[in-house]
Amino acid sequence: MPAALDGLLVLDFSTLLPGPLATLMLAEAGAEVVKIERPEVGDDMRHYPPQWGESGAPFSLLNRGKKSLAIDLKAADAVARLRPLIARADVLVEQFRPGVMTRLGLGYEACRAINPRLVYCSITGYGQSGENSGRAGHDLNYHAETGLLSLSHGSLDQPVVPPVLSADIAGGAYPAVINILMALRQRETTGEGAHLDVAMADGLFTLPFWALAEGQAAGNWPGNADSLLSGGTPRYRLYPTADGALLAVAAIEQKFWEAFCEAIGLEAELRDDRRNPEATTHRIGEIVGAQPAADWTELFDRVDCCCNLVRGLEEAQADPRFRARGLFSERLVNGAGQDMSALPLPIDPALRANRGEPASAPSLGADNALLDDPS
């Protein structure tokens, strides 16, 4: 079976995380992805620790299976050298601030004049228009500015930074892939490409849907850890065990809540958590805190009520239940012969490219011959 995107050519002008993750997913589905990088330096992510072979391990995870061109985009002949590739490309992904690609002679209108069928995807923090469009930012800034961080940031004396780069991934990379695929489908009908404006900050507003519903419909705007899905109910919280682990309780539905209460022996008068949620929370904390993690693991392996222990990432990766689904079966290799598990991606195996051998990230400029023979 051919992969879903076999035959598509993607030019990737992006760096760091959002664009490279988006083009990685396209590459895993069979597209030929050509990464455009600065001479001598390349993508900044090449130099992020830990080092793994000739590049940083994060770069290797995000750029496996791609090709690399090293070219100075400010050079007088850069556009002319890239023109044949642009002419036959299906998708272009860029991640500069608005206006940069235009100044380089590679903006959407210039590329559209070369290839009207090109799907051109621009990923930025705040979008191609508006007062914020030229502002710099990173994931934490977008979390803060969109109100998402206000829902769960820990205490003022111990504020908590989000553990994942959800603006880059859920607000940038994933919407980019979704919109690219829809634009390719639309192109089948119209014969025309499109300019896609993906703003990471905009994409974050989708995530707190329950808080938006509660605030707009009931006028009750959630604050820090006080709503249904951020720790504001006894049914959806983290409870410390006797030996310093954490029990993740997510028994939201009534049937799961009743099973949980029965399993831990919560007193009957506290099981209606609407009457005195603080008292219910306090008592559950006492019960969970009286026994070690191993006891709770054994119990909730038997009781189906959406409860489990918080695990370390290394332990989770080694779990045979995840490995049985093939999450870490694909290997990544480098020039020194070292290997590690490739980054798991949300792509069904039936849609993916079958390379027959472990993939690797490209050396900087390894495919510069494409500038002379783009076919």
Confidence of residue 354 (pLDDT cuts 50, 70, 90): confident
Domains of the chain: 9-205+325-371 (3.40.50.10540), 226-240+246-309 (3.30.1540.10)
**Residue linked to tokens 């044949």:** 84
pLDDT score at 337: 87
Q: Is 231 left (phi over 0), alpha (psi -120 to 50) or beta?
A: left
Catalytic entry in 90, 139, 168, 197: 168
Longest dimension (CA), the chain: 78
Residues of the chain above pLDDT 70, percent: 99
Q: What is the pTM of this model?
A: 0.94
pLDDT score at 10: 98
pLDDT score at 353: 87
195 is catalytic: no
Alpha-carbon span 195 to 108, nearest angstrom: 7
pLDDT digits (tens, 9 = 90+) for 221-246: 999 999 888 999 999 999 999 999 99
pLDDT score at 375: 67
153 is catalytic: no
Q: Which three-class secondary structure state does DSSP give residue 93?
A: strand
Residue 278 has pLDDT above 90, yes or no: yes
List all residues 6 or more positions away from 174 whose beta carbon is below 8 Å from its beta carbon: 22, 203
What are the backbone angles phi and psi of residue 188, rounded to the nearest 5°?
-60, -30
pLDDT score at 362: 94
Residue 352 has pLDDT above 80, yes or no: yes
